[in-house]
Structure 1
């Protein structure tokens, strides 16, 4: 596979570099491509069904739907009960995933956690379960492939020789953790976009011991995931003017932290997820922010 390209952007006078993992595939791109890399290399005959769970606008959900279609696997996705607004406005990642063949099952809120916890007890050998956000140990291989790409692109001159700091935002922290483990000579910056620093450390520690080169930057204030914030929209617009579109859920928080807490040359690993901007921009518009 051809390596994802490197772009240079300017944000508030700061020059930053971006590894364009968002361009790998329209739906199966960014860190979700890296997390699902092992499954993508798995023979289609190995499984019949992929099962996952989470939110209705999840980037991981859409990526898994795209992968399942490519591999000709069934894909079942569990969520809590939809709101009336969600039922009326089937848009963004949810609509795209349904179009790709995803089977959606709603669970009553009170039963959700218990049912999700039982999935592995009832799954057979032909079923693979992807935990929310793609937080699976198999993701390690895909991040090691990314690490080798970064090393190769530095040798070729595509990445400047004095860049030894990387950045990627975190939901579960899977990408940042495994990237830091694969590249111990680099600093890997991340910030929690779901929950706080303690929650992020707990999620990552369930996968592996946290390495010293993994640096968690605390957010400026407590942000609620997927809630519209004016400052996030402003950062999104500035990034768009720089020539690259980023997602509205994770990227603004990461770039805000980088601008305020770092000053060296940084290579930002584009997480993809821009397909979710359709529904998020609609929510900003409803608030009168545009």
Structure 2
């Protein structure tokens, strides 16, 4: 099995898909640069203003040499979903390594297991504490594989479904063939739509930065922190190890969206 921790012998190109502002786009572009490969990343569409003024993850990926292809532009309004197109065009190409959206594939397990082992090493110096690991989920791949290693060692993994609800996340876990040692799923009391701007999300993001002097991701992290703070009210004697999502390049466009939406309200920018 080919893994990303090994030399990618015989491969000349990485293939991925998702949003033109996905955090994974930058990560894959950087990986391709390190490995000496070409990244071709397919998106359903990308706004014209983004090509006119590249920002955030999209700009950085282009600077790293990524090729970002809009199927709506190249094929038209009846273009297939990028995942379908990739399988049709590149599924049998031995020169390509296909990485599904969100890294939702079994090969991700090796890298996440390495992270889990690092957490276990740290936890040995925290004797007597009730330790939980917390992180938000898109496809849930990282949370699932962390839980597979940590839960048998007495460390519970907490997550929340940012993209959809609990049922969606459980289906993602099952699709990876894992049904044991699952993470604990936390949810808000009200529906939280992925990518929609919520004033509460911005406010908790800002409060975290002021208190911790750490900048968090604005797309995933706020929902997890809202769930987590509510959970901590009932579990005050817990030590939380929070897995930072990275994704700070995406904050450039997220902040611009928040400013446009809430520019007339009393928010400290």
Higher normalized contact order (CA 8 Å, seq sep 6+, divided by chain length): 1
Question: TM-score, structure 2 length as denominator?
Answer: 0.87
Deviations along 1:195-249, one digit per CA (max 9) or x if unpaired, are: 1111111112100323345101123322222222111110110111121111001
Shift of 1:161: 4.6
* Conserved? CA contact 1:44–1:72, under 8 Å: no
Q: Which has the larger radius of gyration?
A: 2
Question: TM-score, structure 1 length as denominator?
Answer: 0.81
Alignment partner, residue 85 of structure 2: 115
Alignment partner, residue 107 of structure 2: 138
Show the 5 A alignment for 1:85-124.
85-108=49-72, 109-113=77-81, 114-121=84-91, 123-124=92-93
Q: What CA RMSD, in Å, does the superposition of the two structures yield over aligned residues?
A: 1.9
- Between the two proteins, the alignment pairs up a number of residues equal to 250
Alignment partner, residue 165 of structure 1: 132
Deviations along 1:17-39, one digit per CA (max 9) or x if unpaired, are: xxxxxxxxxxxxxxxxxxxx941
Q: Hey, what's the Cα distance between the residues in 1 that align with 2:128 and 2:20?
A: 41
Select which of 122, 145, 165 maps to 1:153.
Answer: 122
Which shifted more, 159-168 or 231-240? 159-168
Alignment partner, residue 175 of structure 1: 142
Where structure 1 has 5 or more consecutive residues not aligned to the other structure, the ranges are 1-36
Where structure 2 has 5 or more consecutive residues not aligned to the other structure, the ranges are none
Alignment partner, residue 95 of structure 2: 126
Q: Does 1:64 align with 2:32?
A: no
DSSP-derived class of the 1:53 partner: strand
Q: Does 1:286 align with 2:250?
A: no
Alignment partner, residue 222 of structure 1: 191
Q: Hey, what's the Cα distance between the residues in 2 that align with 1:282 and 1:232?
A: 14
